[in-house]
């Protein structure tokens, strides 16, 4: 199922999730929301202590820090924008217009949400219940919201609440999720919402400006930070997912930012904040999931409640080095019978060095490149076999449901 096609969910409505002509009348956001109370340094310090304690419990000095926050401060609801304003991301016709940082915020913040959930997890054989704060964004007028899976992991039947920019708060239901890609779709009982405009993460280059809007520390909701794309194709592991393909950003992200949108300079969402690299003395290392990697996943989750189109090759691989195999790449240890790999003609001992024109120098490169495809897609592989190179056409299968 293509992400750009109309989605039919079996409910008496249908909607498009695509970067269509953005002619929605949006209210201006001329000033940041006001608060009756300032956030105290004590609360912030306490939140940071919880993040540090969580890292110690996990037994990792270097870890991925997520949107967990034990203490959620009380705040005044931000003012509801009143005046109408034309969408800013399009010029005449289909021409795109780059925006200032203030315009990106004005355009995007009305589609952002704060998320609170109560989760229960096992810690040394004992159930531990805690409050979690995170961020998200509206993907459809019908109330669908995107966030990270780890923001709601362990919520079960506990309450998940979503607060819109205008201060309205709703109970949310989990439509579905994909833990492998740290993705979850929620839904609130509201319609006529303002969804984000989606861009293309495939257009990102190192040095491109980006903006993140979210709820750092669970107390500073609807905050925006700015930066650049620092790197592409970063494979990371999180508490709930292994080997997630991301791009690296230097915009400040902290506990509570997880699940929030990353915008490009046109005010389009190109990624989802998923992790911050946390280590003493390290700053400016945040990671976001490319939106093009998960478009079809969102479609699948809304349509059937899970991702049915994850690409599957059917091989066991490891990293091949020049010292051991004469070339660097992804070494094929075994091929499953009847798999897409067998049908394509891959064999044990093959070394994959390119996928779709992208250089493959390791297992991590292969996993990252695979995330750009979905089941049914066809790609050209360049393979080193018997001291020579050959080209193989592979059509991805669907990952079996566990």
pLDDT in tens, 238-252: 666 678 999 999 999
User: Band of the pLDDT at 284, cuts 50, 70, 90?
Assistant: confident
In the CATH hierarchy, which fold is given to the domain comprising 311-398? Pdz3 Domain (2.30.42)
27-31, 137-141, 175-179: least confidently modelled range = 27-31
> Where does CATH 2.30.42.10 sit in the chain?
311-398
Q: CB within 8 A of 376, min separation 6: which ones?
A: 309, 395, 396, 398
More confident residue, 373 or 4: 373
pLDDT of residue 401: 72
Average pLDDT over residues 158-186: 94
Closest CA to 139 of 320, 290, 314, 261: 261
Domain with CATH 2.40.10.120 in the chain: 7-75+100-304
258 contact partners, CB below 8 Å, separation of at least 6: 66, 67, 134, 135, 147, 148, 150, 151, 214, 273, 274, 275
Residue 360 φ/ψ, nearest 5 degrees:
-115, 115
Q: What are phi and psi of 42, to 5 degrees?
A: -65, -40
| Per-residue DSSP letter, 304 | H
Q: Which residues contact 249 (CB under 8 A, 6 or more apart)?
A: 210, 212, 227, 228, 229, 230, 262, 271, 286, 287, 288
**What average pLDDT does the chain have?**
80
User: Can you give the pLDDT at residue 150?
Assistant: 92
pLDDT tens per residue, range 131-141:
889 999 999 99
The answer to whether 228 touches 101, Cβ cutoff 8 Å, is: no
Task: Find the length of the chain.
Answer: 402
Catalytic residue list: 150, 182, 258
Average pLDDT estimate for 266-279: 86
Q: Which of 310-314, 367-371, 397-401 has the lowest mean pLDDT?
A: 397-401
- Mean pLDDT within 358-385: 94
Domain 7-75+100-304 CATH (choose: 2.40.10.120, 3.40.50.460, 3.40.50.1820, 3.40.50.720)? 2.40.10.120
Ranking 56-65, 193-202, 278-287 by mean pLDDT, the lowest is 56-65
pLDDT reading at 142 higher than 70: yes
Q: What is the pLDDT of residue 222?
A: 95
Rounded to two decimals, what is the model's pTM? Answer: 0.72
122: confidence class by pLDDT, cuts 50, 70, 90: confident
The CA-atom distances, in angstroms, between 365 and each of 100, 273, 311 are 35, 21, 15
Closest CA to 313 of 362, 261, 367, 360: 367
Confidence of residue 332 (pLDDT cuts 50, 70, 90): very high
Least-confidence region, from 20-34, 69-83, 310-324: 69-83
121 by DSSP, 3-state: which?
Answer: strand
- The set of residues, in sequence order, having a beta carbon less than 8 Å from that of 139 and lying 6+ positions away, is 17, 145, 146, 185, 195, 196, 298
Q: How far apart are CA 114 and CA 160, in angstroms?
A: 11
Instruction: Summarize the confidence of residues 130-152 as an average pLDDT.
Output: 94
Looking up tokens 């090759």, which residue turns up?
A: 313
**Proportion of the chain above pLDDT 90, given as a percent:** 61
Catalogue the E-assigned strands of 336-387. 351-355, 358-359, 378-385
Residue 85 burial class via C-beta count within 10 angstroms: exposed 0-12, middle 13-18, buried 19 and up: middle
């Amino acid at each position: 199922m293509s992400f750009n096609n109309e989605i039919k969910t079996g409910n008496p409505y249908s909607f498009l999730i695509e970067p269509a002509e953005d002619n929605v009348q949006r209210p201006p956001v001329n000033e940041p929301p006001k608060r009756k109370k300032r956030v105290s340094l004590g609360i912030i310090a306490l939140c940071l202590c919880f993040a540090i304690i969580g890292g110690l419990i996990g037994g990792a000095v270097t870890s991925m820090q997520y949107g967990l926050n034990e203490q959620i401060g009380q705040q005044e609801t931000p003012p509801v924008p009143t005046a109408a304003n034309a969408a800013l991301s399009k010029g005449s016709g289909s021409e795109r217009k780059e925006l200032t940082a203030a315009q990106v915020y004005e355009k995007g913040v009305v589609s952002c949400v704060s998320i609170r959930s109560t989760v229960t997890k096992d810690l040394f054989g004992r159930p531990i219940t805690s409050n979690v704060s995170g961020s998200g964004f509206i993907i459809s007028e019908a109330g669908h919201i995107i966030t990270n899976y780890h923001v709601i992991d362990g919520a079960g039947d506990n309450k998940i609440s979503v607060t819109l920019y205008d201060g309205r708060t709703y109970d949310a239901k989990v439509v579905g999720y994909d833990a492998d890609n740290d993705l979850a779709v929620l839904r609130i009982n509201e319609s006529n919402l303002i969804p984000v405009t989606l861009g293309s993460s495939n257009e990102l280059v190192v040095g491109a400006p980006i903006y993140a809007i979210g709820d750092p520390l669970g107390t500073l909701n609807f905050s925006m930070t700015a930066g650049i794309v620092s790197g592409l194709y970063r494979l990371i592991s999180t508490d709930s997912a292994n080997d997630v393909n991301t791009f690296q950003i230097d915009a400040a992200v902290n506990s509570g930012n997880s699940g929030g949108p990353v915008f490009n300079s046109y005010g389009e969402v190109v990624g989802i904040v998923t992790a911050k690299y946390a280590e003493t003395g390290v700053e400016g290392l945040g990671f976001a999931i490319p939106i093009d990697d998960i478009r079809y996943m969102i479609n699948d989750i809304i349509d059937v409640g899970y991702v049915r189109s994850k690409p599957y090759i059917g091989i066991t691989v490891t990293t091949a080095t020049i010292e051991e195999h004469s070339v660097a790449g992804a070494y094929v240890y075994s091929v499953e019978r009847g798999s897409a790999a067998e049908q394509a003609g891959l064999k044990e001992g093959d070394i994959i060095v390119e996928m779709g024109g992208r250089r493959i120098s390791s297992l991590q490169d292969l996993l990252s490149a695979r995330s750009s495809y979905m089941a049914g897609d066809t790609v050209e592989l360049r393979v080193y076999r018997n001291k020579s190179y050959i080209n193989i056409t592979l059509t991805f299968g669907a990952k079996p449901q566990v």
